[in-house]
Structure 1
Amino acid sequence: MTSYSPTASVKFNPDDLPYINPRYDRRVCLITGANSGIGWFTALHLYLHGYIVYIGGRNKLKVERAISDITKEAKRRKQEKSYIYLGKLIFLEIDLLDLDSVEKSAEEFKKREPKLHILINNAGIMALPFSYSKDNFEIQVQTNYISPFLLTQRLIPLMSTVEKSRILYVSSIGHNLYFKRFSMDSTFDYHPNIIFTWLRYGLSKTSGIHYIKNLSLKYPNILCLAVNPGFVMSTNLLSHWTRLPIVGLFFWIFFQIFGFFFGVDIETGCYSTIKCCLDENLTSEKDNGKYFSTYGIEAEPSSIASNMDYAAETWVWTTTELNKRGHPIE
């Protein structure tokens, strides 16, 4: 991971955000899917800023390898910066395709920590062939929305008493692919998959924005934000398409060209998350429920994602379906 070269940007500099010393101010963050990609750099910056960072993942070996790489990179960046006090990196087992695992992970976290300052629902999958999870949800909807919903609901009690706690949902510009309001039961299991898989992805990411808007109303003391990293074309999210026989080469070439003209590198992709985590100018009183794009610039999501009637429908559907599966939501 340390081979990635950071992109300098006049638009945003993580050094401008406040650093803490964990010896005197212990702040805890949980981020899912931080063993690679945008999440890796998010964990790196929070670790550099003094946070105790729990990295949620299902593969302990991969997460521990990521922790080792992040530690090495952080020590390199810490040189000649006396104001940096490194936090701590901890593995937390969680499989977002298994709701029982999500419940178990939340309980384990509550045993370890009495408070949670920042929760980042970062993990996600994109544009995969149609399939159901063991919990009978379409896999993109469960990974990108249902499991983050359940995890957040279970951990909110740890955040409600924390001053200036924050919940972030990493969405995507791809939420705009959900161009019309469909039933939440829609799976778009049609051919060709190359088209309809994107509708499933767009539905899942739009639902995540709906969730943030609902949370901002239900828990006004917690700052709840949705973020869009920008076009990050070099993560493993696109590996399914580039590994396809024959046509995979064409997809790889297309992604490279598109990324060159319109994309940002992986570290830059984490900047919107980092700013929304640490910027003290953002408050629950004036910013709750908002959506931020690349570099943490405030933006507007799609009209469907912004529609509060649709957001309410999404909440009712989600709680009903979770209740049916033995995961009650009040």
Structure 2
Amino acid sequence: MSQLLYNLFYYKTLVTSFIAPISSADKALQLFATPTYPKKDPEWEVEFEKNVPHNVLNIPYKEHIDEMNKRMKDKSTPFEITLIPNLPETFSCLEYLPDPNVPKREETIICIHGWGGKSLNFFKFIKKYQSQGFRILAPDFPQHGLTGGTETGCHIFGHTLNALIRYLNSPVYLIAHSLGNVAFCVNYAISSEYERSLIKRYVGIACPDEFQFIMRRFMDMIGLSNRAWEPFVEVNDKLHGIKITEVSESKIIENFKIPILIIHDENDKELSYDVCKTIGEHLHYKHYKVGSEDAEKKPTFYTSKGLGHRRILRDDNIVDLSAEFFSEKIYPC
């Protein structure tokens, strides 16, 4: 979109949303809930898909929907569920098996992509994890990658993650990028205590703290006036089936006394570093040691420099940092 067209759209939205905030909030939600994708798949992801053996699992949602209907009735989750989203029959999940030449690990690593992303965004991480004996599952959320569907959003991401954890019913390590970290939060909001206990470690890359920060940033980007904020909150809560503006990574993360590593880049233009660093203040453990209690302390909130929001997933140092965190004995402190 040219600068002139963008300016026209921005000021039209600003005026319209001031005059008619409710209808403008509805229209803004339609735009907000529509993912944007790269114009073409990156060459490195295409090559990886061709050359690295994998299985495509199509995992049904039916059991998950039945379980969520029960939880909606008995209100047995940390957040009250008011709606089951429109889920397709199945979601696709790429399965990468561990290197047969190394000891197999008990835990499965789940790679959780962000908005407009897909499973192959973690191509740099997958081979490293295989070499350490891990089985890796990389789901494509509805309307992303190989998975279809009529609806998508962080609530759909969270429901899919919850369905996958229940499908596995065994210990998992999670690594998430961007909005995938909100999936971690939504999963907590709709999980049973047992399902939460299956999460043994978590690495969050480029995390938003509060979902409403993303909503505010979107409002500013399209020119939605402040008069439309409350209607915009209402339509978002209705869509997501939980009070999405109450979802805060920093508050939810306090409930996990497991090894957690948060990684954020100082130059992230999409999710401000200043907003994200609040999460670090709420981590139960501020440091960890690798291998022994006598090892050097490392921060559980790691700051990278010069990698931005997306290139961070292609950085060898970040890959190695996460691989060490998953594969070695960790002493939180």
Question: Shorter-chain TM-score category?
Answer: 0.3 to 0.5
When the two structures are superposed, what TM-score results if normalisation uses the length of structure 1?
Answer: 0.37
When the two structures are superposed, what TM-score results if normalisation uses the length of structure 2?
Answer: 0.36
